[in-house]
Structure 1
Amino acid sequence: MTKALLRTGVAAAALMAAMPAMAEEITMIVCGDAMNPVQQKYIDQWVAENEGWTVATEVVGWGQCQDKVTTLAVAGTPVGLAYVGSRTLKEFADYGLIEPIPMTDEEKAAYYPNVVDTVTYEDQQWGVPVAFSTKAFYWNKDLFRAAGLDPETPPKTWAEVIEDAKAITEKTDAAGFGLVAKTFDNTVHQFLHWVYTNNGQVVDAEGNIVLNSPQNLEALQAYKDLVPYSEEGPTAYEQNEVRAIFLDGGVGMMHASISAVSRLKDTQIDWGIANLPLGPEAKGPGTLLITDSLAVFSGTGYEEKAIELAKYITAPAPQEEYDLDQGLTPLRPSAKIDSLVAEHPYWAPYIDGIEFGGPEPLFTDYRGFQNIMIEMVQSVVTGQAEPADALAKADAALKDLK
């Protein structure tokens, strides 16, 4: 998406909104390789309960999905409902391309803490969360043993991570920690893990840029301190590439999503999962909260029915069934989720971090935000800038971007 493309479509979208067509078919774009049967089941139920209405779904691959949704919206021929990354909601909202989707206090309270913040901008919700990702800490117990560390005691603080990474690097053939610093979106994500495990923020509740804070400086300094004990050349690696090194036994610790569990079960590695280690200012377990959402686009003439459909298929019972089917971090607590954690304790860290977690910051130009943050991290990792200077530069750039 580009600002230019969005601007050219605002007038067309406004014209469409002024002349709504009384359609009886809701068009819906779903990102992925195939329509999920759980979601299809509940779409079919909604259609059965709403006489005269149908839903036409189109599955679009991940690489093209967001661009197609955007192109249709700015051309004045919007899809009714679409799966989007929540980080794009502010951009769509600022250009008048999507509808607010108000939530009642009861609806908000049903989610885990801070989840609704991922879709909230100027006190309005602009999407309904439909997929949720959090991160946890993985360690290789075999490498801990080889380094003379207690394999059953993972580090709980950043200082302990650095100390353990140093021991693994010096006493084994592996790197201590998998540091993500490639020119890729999850470089921003991993840095935000550190921000939210030290009571930091990028944007405060009033919308002010607060990147240049003591908490975030401590996070960036920890990055610098880890470089000697990480894989060689961190700027060449994104999250999945670091995970591959971990799966080969080449790195002792990493941050990763729940999907790493299924891959580790196929290895000979003795591994463990814990909460993300905490910085000195932390109030409790934290993590980055990433959601994807269902957004309702303006100008179709059936926006209210599309909102109704979006809420129907993401209601607590359907959404929980979808979360469990897809192996996603659950969006809401329930007795069934408690049972899941009791049966599979490795799920606990993914939920523990939610309470003090934070969202992907919402920017109209999200790619601009992403580039500024990546440049900041890379400048420190490569030794081109000191943490304090890099943080101040990025803070000023974000304020100009805002």
Structure 2
Amino acid sequence: MMRRTGAFALVAGLLSLSACGSSGASGSHAPSTLEIWDMQQSSKDVGAAYKPIVEKFQKEHPGTKVKVTTFPYAQYRDKVLVAMKGGTGPDILALDQIWTSEFAAGGLITPLDDHIAKARNVKQKDFFTGAWDSNVYQGKTWGVPLNFDVWEQLYYNADLFRKAGLDPDKPPTTWDQWVADAKKLHHPPKQFGIALIGCKDEGSVVVTDSLMFSNSGGLADGDKIVFDSPENRAALEQYRTLSKSAPSGTAGVCEQDAVGQFTAGKAAMLLDGSWQQDTMRKSAKFDWRIAVPPAPEGKSFVGTLGGFNMAVSKKAGNADLAFDFIDELSTPENQKAVNSLIPALKSAGEEFVKAERKQPEAVLKTLENGRPRPLIPVYPKLSLIQQETIQSILGGTSPATALRDGADKMANALKQG
């Protein structure tokens, strides 16, 4: 989210939906051949879900052959970069939101504004705002949102709230209340106030981003690094304070570790996305609930968005035909069919949340207020620096010092490109 860190099952799938074999370089494709690469989102067979859409598209475009290949998330980015830089690869490709600017700046995908202006189904107003904005880089639109979600909601154990004398119908809404409640719920070594993601991966980035966004901070303003700011220092201080009510070793806790602490009943609160509700239904043997996470006094929570967008390769043999397929995919029915995440179309996404998620009003509120991570081509480098900054803070460095050092490294990374 984004990739949505750790939550996508790393199950490879390979499905050819036509009799055509590998067509080699996209530039050598026949105009009626489309190669599509997508990612596995969960245990759902994404390739099989495409099959009726592909069959309908081929009937409506006589002579067209469509091949869909799906990959595990962990392998996908490297595979697609190597293929496309080598002149091969797909005509249509799914991109994590945080990769879009990198592929655009590298000349690997084509802007879609002219296609969108003539589209039957793709209308900006029909998509969640944050999902659409994740495709806009340097004034051009480089993809069409397929799905998205947000880091995060506040999961909490209502039974432990009652036991601590807290009202489970009134979870914390401000940062001060949050810290106070975490302390009341913290009774080590058997019970802890909160489980926090802190390991060195994108999970710790999206969680701390949500704190920074909620305090009017962030990593970058356009091409300017604003990582070292009073707003971010306060946000990271809040994170460090909460970590004192978490089990020891937060610097090594990844998403599934934190989820395990919560479902085992050891941690009373957790920050995670709506996708984990499936896990909670299966594993949490207590009264679990969600809420919009707390924000600073007088401010509103702003979460970190993630998700996948569909783009057209610069070397697509027939860009018009490729966009036609993306347009066909952009109906509520088709987005629901191929997704196990929240569809990016508002109508389909709202229907999905109301049908599949507990307390859907809280989930929808976080989706509406969510914000994409910076659309900067060197974002992967900036993310690594942010991960190192978080590790430093959890190791005892003050947020002021860690952010100052991190901001300097980010500025250098931006200059080097």
- Distance (whole Å) between structure 2 residues aligned to residue 219 and residue 174 of structure 1: 25
Normalised TM-score (structure 1): 0.87
1:313 matched residue in structure 2: 329
Cα separation, partners in 2 of 1:226 and 1:285, compared to 1, 3 Å = closer
Is residue 2:292 matched to residue 1:242? no
Is 2:387 the partner of 1:374? Answer: yes
Contact 1:329 1:350 in 2 (8 A): no
Question: Does structure 2 conserve the Cα–Cα contact (< 8 Å) formed by 1:329 and 1:351?
Answer: no
Cα deviation, residue 132, structure 1: 0.8
Equivalent residue in structure 2 for 1:74, among 51, 72, 85: 85
- 1:12 aligns to what? none
Match of 1:226 in 2: 242
The reply to whether residue 28 of structure 1 matches residue 36 of structure 2 is yes
Amino acid at match of 1:382: G
Aligned to 2:73: 62
Verify: 1:394 aligned to 2:406, yes or no: yes
CA contact (8 A) 1:157 1:277 kept: yes
- Cα offset for 1:373? 0.4
Q: Per-residue displacement from partner, 1:94-148 (whole Å, max 9, x unpaired)?
A: 1111111224498211112222111211011222211211121100112212222
Task: Please give the alpha-carbon distance, in whole angstroms, between the structure 1 residues aligned to 2:338 and 2:390.
Answer: 35
Q: Which residue of 2 aligns with 1:4?
A: none
SS in 1 for 2:317: coil
In structure 1, which of residues 197, 207, 213 is the aligned counterpart of residue 223 of structure 2?
Answer: 207
Judge conservation of contact 2:146–2:343 (CA < 8 Å) in 1: no
Q: CA deviation at 1:173?
A: 2.6
Change (3 A) 1:336 1:74: closer
Partner residue in 2 for 1:144: 161
1:20 CA displacement: 6.1
**CA separation in 2, counterparts of 1:150 and 1:334?**
34
Alignment of 1:225-374 (within 5 A): 225-266=241-282, 267-280=284-297, 282=299, 284-323=300-339, 326=340, 328-334=341-347, 337=350, 341=354, 345-374=358-387
Give the structure 1 partner of residue 205 of structure 2. Answer: 188
Q: CA deviation at 1:341?
A: 3.0
Counterpart for residue 22 of structure 2: none
- How many corresponding residue pairs? 380
1:369-392 CA distances to partner (integer Å, 9 max, x unpaired)? 111101111111111x21112122
Given that residues 286 and 352 in structure 1 are in contact (C-alpha distance below 8 angstroms), is that contact kept between their aligned partners in structure 2? no
Please give the root-mean-square deviation of Cα atoms over the aligned residues, in Å: 2.4
The letter for the 2-side match of 1:346 is Q
| 8 Å Cα contact 1:29-1:82 kept in structure 2 | yes
**Cα distance, 1:308–1:27 mapped onto 2, change above 3 Å:** same
The two structures have a TM-score, normalised by structure 2, of 0.84
Letter in 2 for 1:58: T
One-letter amino acid matched to 1:113: T
How big is the shift at 1:171?
7.9
CA distance in 1, matches of 2:371, 2:412: 23
Determine the structure 2 residue equivalent to 1:51. Answer: 62
1:4-153 alignment, distance < 5 Å:
22-32=30-40, 34-102=45-113, 103-104=116-117, 107-134=123-150, 135-153=152-170
Looking at structure 1, the residues matched to 163 and 142 of structure 2 have their Cα atoms a distance apart, in angstroms, of 50
Give deviations 1:253-308, integer Å, cap 9, x for gaps. Answer: 111122222222233211111112112462x3421111211221122321221122
The Cα shift of 1:187 comes to: 0.9
Give the deviation of 1:314 after TM superposition: 2.3
Between the aligned partners of 1:336 and 1:63, the Cα distance in structure 2 is 25
Tell me the SS of whatever aligns to 2:63.
coil
The letter of the residue matching 2:163 is A
Listed as ranges, the gaps of 5+ residues in structure 2 are 1-24
Query: Separation in 1 of the partners of 2:403 and 2:231?
Result: 11
| TM-aligned CA distance change 1:192 to 1:55, over 3 Å | same
Distance 2:298 2:411 in 1: 24
C-alpha distance 153-372 of structure 1, shift in aligned 2 (>3 A): same
1 CA distance for matches of 2:210 and 2:238?
12
- CA distance in structure 1 between the aligned counterparts of 2:145 and 2:78, rounded to whole angstroms: 20
* Mapped partners of 1:362, 1:343: distance in 2: 30
Counterparts in 2 of 1:100 and 1:141: CA distance versus 1, 3 Å: same
Q: Judge conservation of contact 1:139–1:272 (CA < 8 Å) in 2.
A: yes
